[in-house]
Structure 1
Amino acid sequence: MATAAQNDIPPHVPAELVVRLPLYARVNTYDNPQETLIPEMHATLPPICYATNVFPGDQPGWFLRRAEDVQAILRDPDNFTKNGMGKWAQNIGEDWLVIPTEIDPPIHTDYRKALNPHFSPQKMFALKDQIRDRARTLIDEFKDRGECDFIGQFSEQYPVNIVLDLLGLPQERMPEFLEWEKEMLHTNDWQVRGDAVRKVKNYLMEEIQARRQSPRDDYISKVLDFEVDGRKWNEMEVFGHCFNLYLGGLDTVTSLLGNIFNFLAQNPEKQNSLRADPSQTVLAVEEFLRGFAVVTAFRIATREIEIHGQKIMPGEYVTFASPVISRDPEFYPEPQDIRFDRKAPHMALGSGIHKCLGMHLARLELQIAVEEFLAAIPEFRVKDGFRVPYFLGNILHVSDLHLQWN
């Protein structure tokens, strides 16, 4: 399932651990990777291997297959740093950091202290009616047509509407914002990725400057008053945080929704179970987060360390795919089964000090999407004759999904 690569391999890397992983082909496939590729990875890969293509641009790193090993490194920021791990700034020859994603302790604690109250469960729950209205408005556009382009008509627009409102950015520019996001997250071309980073940076810096001159009732204006170390955030700290919200807010929930609704479309008994008892939705969303996690994440070794007897050198990337660890048979009994009563922990939204800042918003968006779609749409299925494409890459997602119902 994985072939040895021809790249230059560091001398401490055993040849038998060198692989090129199909999971990072960064192309569409019509084979569901959750049902085929990921179980095969668990059956054939060792606990750790050196994958030559885990990072965009076919850059290498150590790949951890087991959930238990990933839990350990997520709880060990001393040995595994996130500082600069996304290479966003480096790609365009700069040195800013994505906040709080690329920040290490102790200053990470101060940033989260400023940020957490704005993303608390109570703050996010206060958005419930607004989020529900967004979902209903989008669903009303197609519910009587008997079919929909789920990605284009719902899952791309729904979470992005919320984030653009939060940041005070214009809804009419959504197509352009989504194009930039796709060029950053769903490409293997380093130049395309860098050009998109520049576009996003230039735009956000203009918006930040506009808020300095004329503050508004939006989140960007609030960030200008955040403090760290007894001072207000500087320009690049404000930008680094806004960039983080742009990255997370315009993609992750969209990708999760595509995976979830593709599953529901192909498993009508699961749809009908939730319709019959909507009180299952909260636990069902946690199981969906486990079973349909989308993100591959990274850490960078800060010193020489061993994992399963293999030497990792300082500066080397250590990689884990939440879609893979979420279906680890050594961690989850019968991981391929989607069970609404599982109540199992998962790492789809991170773990440890870097647990996703927007996790409460993401959960609420997913719960409301499931509730409103199932309440408005009768039993649905993948449109007759339509083949579902799955994108293999650092964000594993359904790239197109057409649904129909009677």
Structure 2
Amino acid sequence: MSDATPRAEYAAPDHVPANLIKSVDYNDDPALRVDPYRALAHLHDGPPIFWNPLNTRHGTPGTWDVPRASYMREILSDQDTFSSKNSAGFSALIGESWLMTPLEIDPPDHTFYRAFLNPLFSPIAVRKMDERIQARAQELIDGFKGRGECEFITEFARPFPIAIIMQLLGLPITELDIFIDWGQRLLHGSTMEIKAQAAAEIHDYLKRRIAEKRRNPQDDFISYICKTEVDSRRLDDGECMGICYLMFVGGLDTVASSLGFQFHHLATHPEHKKYLQDNPKKIPSAVDEYLRRFSSVMTARQVTRDIEFHGVAMKQGDWITLCQPTTSIDPLEYSNPMEVDFNRRQRHLAFSFGPHFCLGKHIAFRELNVALEKILFQMPELTLAPGSEVITHGGAVFGVAHLELQW
């Protein structure tokens, strides 16, 4: 997780040439509030790898930034050279050392945890969740459909995916508002102190829940990881915390971000909205293209040894920032990258790549499909509310902060 404040520039280390230094503010640049993708499109004018003195990672000033999609794939595929350990850093915020599992675990241990967790997130497992996903989406829609208007982010985009994760974890839905507040402070807090306080509150909450499920296991995700034996042993408290924290954080903002951009686009492009209403079988293709066009996550890797990567000398310990919002609009990867094309057949990095391909991909994809299926046909005249201001943001997860719709 990148430090958000202060946005100071740091002197580059000796191995960074002056011509590769470029300052990019992914958090507070005012242009991010209008259109974060157009604000960053200039990064593809070069250089394809640069040193960003505005980024910090675990107190280390400056990171390498890689806006090119093909380079990102190379980095994500090579866990020996580019480690994911401590790449999120939430435990460090509160002075602990557990790792978000399996996100911050490198192979071969990563393989063990993925084999343990994959069946819980398989297409078959998600199909069993479908009734809950559909019911929750409809419940939220029923809350505003008759009004003819809503503030989409607070009334649907945030509560929908968080409620699904809470149900999966076996947590009471009555605490939804608390979870939403934690998510906003953790991922978008204006200071590291605010983020750290939220991180600590989430940790303490999950610690209590893990202890409860150990004493009284039920039919839910936390109970499963607490009681299931793998290689003749049960996971310890630190391992359970790392897995639960990842599930919690993974459900907080990424789907909400996709929903915000997706419905902002549909509300401002009636021709695309009508195309999907006339061709509902194209909705999965549309979701995939929206994930490509509006990829949102910032992640990182740490260099494990001195290397030369595409002509750039990197030193052991250097951090690399991987910004999906820039790779999603790479003109060397996609023709007309800023355009939304529901017939596009090009792969994207919205769910990452390589060993750390997103564990919750099938849940997220289903949630996005259900939202489109229901809203497109229950509010067919969906549009932006006249005179309203659409506010977007950068940060750890790019997203839409405010979106007023009417129908």
TM-score of the aligned structures, taking structure 1 as reference length: 0.95
Q: Does the 8 A contact of 1:328 with 1:335 survive in 2?
A: yes
Q: What residue identity is the alignment partner of 1:72?
A: E
- Once the two structures are superposed, the pairs formed by residues 205-354 of structure 1 within 5 Å of their partners are 205-354=207-356
Distance 2:206 2:243 in 1: 10
The answer to whether structure 1 residue 79 and structure 2 residue 78 are counterparts is no
Distance 1:213 1:88 in 2: 27
Q: What residue identity is the alignment partner of 1:194?
A: A
Distance 2:228 2:102 in 1: 13
From 383, 394, 400, the equivalent of 1:392 is: 394
CA apart distance, 1:65: 1.1
Specify the alignment match of 2:179 in structure 1.
177
CA apart distance, 1:27: 6.4
CA deviation profile, 1:178-223 (whole Å, cap 9, x unmatched): 1111221113522222111111110000000011111122110011
From 19, 22, 25, the equivalent of 2:25 is: 22
Q: Does the 8 A contact of 1:282 with 1:367 survive in 2?
A: yes
From 130, 141, 146, the equivalent of 1:128 is: 130
Q: What residue identity is the alignment partner of 1:138?
A: L
TM-score of the aligned structures, taking structure 2 as reference length: 0.94
Relative to structure 1, the CA distance from residue 28 to residue 200 in structure 2 (aligned partners, 3 Å threshold; closer, same or farther) is farther
Relative to structure 1, the CA distance from residue 185 to residue 58 in structure 2 (aligned partners, 3 Å threshold; closer, same or farther) is farther
Relative to structure 1, the CA distance from residue 242 to residue 30 in structure 2 (aligned partners, 3 Å threshold; closer, same or farther) is closer
Distance 1:206 1:28 in 2: 41
Relative to structure 1, the CA distance from residue 247 to residue 289 in structure 2 (aligned partners, 3 Å threshold; closer, same or farther) is same
Distance 1:311 1:389 in 2: 39
Secondary structure, in 3 states, of the residue corresponding to 2:227?
Answer: coil
Q: Does the 8 A contact of 2:21 with 2:50 survive in 1?
A: yes
Relative to structure 1, the CA distance from residue 248 to residue 308 in structure 2 (aligned partners, 3 Å threshold; closer, same or farther) is same
Distance 1:327 1:233 in 2: 40
Distance 2:386 2:152 in 1: 14
- Once the two structures are superposed, the pairs formed by residues 40-55 of structure 1 within 5 Å of their partners are 40-43=42-45, 45-55=46-56
Secondary structure, in 3 states, of the residue corresponding to 2:64?
Answer: strand
Q: Does the 8 A contact of 2:162 with 2:179 survive in 1?
A: no
Secondary structure, in 3 states, of the residue corresponding to 2:376?
Answer: helix
Q: Does the 8 A contact of 1:46 with 1:65 survive in 2?
A: no
Distance 1:53 1:102 in 2: 23
CA apart distance, 1:295: 0.3
Secondary structure, in 3 states, of the residue corresponding to 1:311?
Answer: strand
CA apart distance, 1:29: 4.5
Distance 2:61 2:138 in 1: 42
Q: What is the percentage of aligned positions where both structures have the same residue?
A: 37
Q: What residue identity is the alignment partner of 1:334?
A: N
Q: Does the 8 A contact of 1:24 with 1:54 survive in 2?
A: no
- Once the two structures are superposed, the pairs formed by residues 34-73 of structure 1 within 5 Å of their partners are 34=37, 36-43=38-45, 45-55=46-56, 59-73=61-75
Q: Does the 8 A contact of 1:114 with 1:226 survive in 2?
A: no
Distance 1:179 1:137 in 2: 21
Relative to structure 1, the CA distance from residue 180 to residue 242 in structure 2 (aligned partners, 3 Å threshold; closer, same or farther) is same
Which segments of 5 or more consecutive residues in structure 1 lack a partner in the other structure? Answer: none
- Once the two structures are superposed, the pairs formed by residues 116-195 of structure 1 within 5 Å of their partners are 116-195=118-197
- Once the two structures are superposed, the pairs formed by residues 102-117 of structure 1 within 5 Å of their partners are 102-117=104-119
Q: Does the 8 A contact of 1:295 with 1:348 survive in 2?
A: yes
Distance 1:379 1:87 in 2: 43
Specify the alignment match of 2:11 in structure 1.
8
The answer to whether structure 1 residue 32 and structure 2 residue 32 are counterparts is no
Relative to structure 1, the CA distance from residue 240 to residue 347 in structure 2 (aligned partners, 3 Å threshold; closer, same or farther) is same
State the Cα RMSD in Å: 1.8
Distance 1:350 1:226 in 2: 28
Distance 1:321 1:54 in 2: 12
Distance 2:314 2:231 in 1: 34
Distance 1:47 1:227 in 2: 46
CA apart distance, 1:86: 1.3
CA deviation profile, 1:23-55 (whole Å, cap 9, x unmatched): 332768542122x21322223x31011112335
Q: What residue identity is the alignment partner of 2:351?
A: L
- Once the two structures are superposed, the pairs formed by residues 353-392 of structure 1 within 5 Å of their partners are 353-392=355-394
Distance 1:282 1:59 in 2: 41
How many aligned residue pairs are there?
Answer: 400
CA deviation profile, 1:358-400 (whole Å, cap 9, x unmatched): 0000000001100001010022111111111111212110101
After alignment, is 223-232 or 128-137 more displaced? 223-232
CA deviation profile, 1:272-296 (whole Å, cap 9, x unmatched): 1111110001111110110011101
Which segments of 5 or more consecutive residues in structure 2 lack a partner in the other structure? Answer: 1-6
Secondary structure, in 3 states, of the residue corresponding to 2:147?
Answer: coil
CA apart distance, 1:228: 4.3
Secondary structure, in 3 states, of the residue corresponding to 1:126?
Answer: helix
Relative to structure 1, the CA distance from residue 222 to residue 65 in structure 2 (aligned partners, 3 Å threshold; closer, same or farther) is same
- List structure 1 segments (4+ residues) > 3 angstroms apart after TM superposition: 26-30, 54-59, 226-230
Q: What residue identity is the alignment partner of 1:21?
A: V
Secondary structure, in 3 states, of the residue corresponding to 1:60?
Answer: strand
CA apart distance, 1:8: 2.6
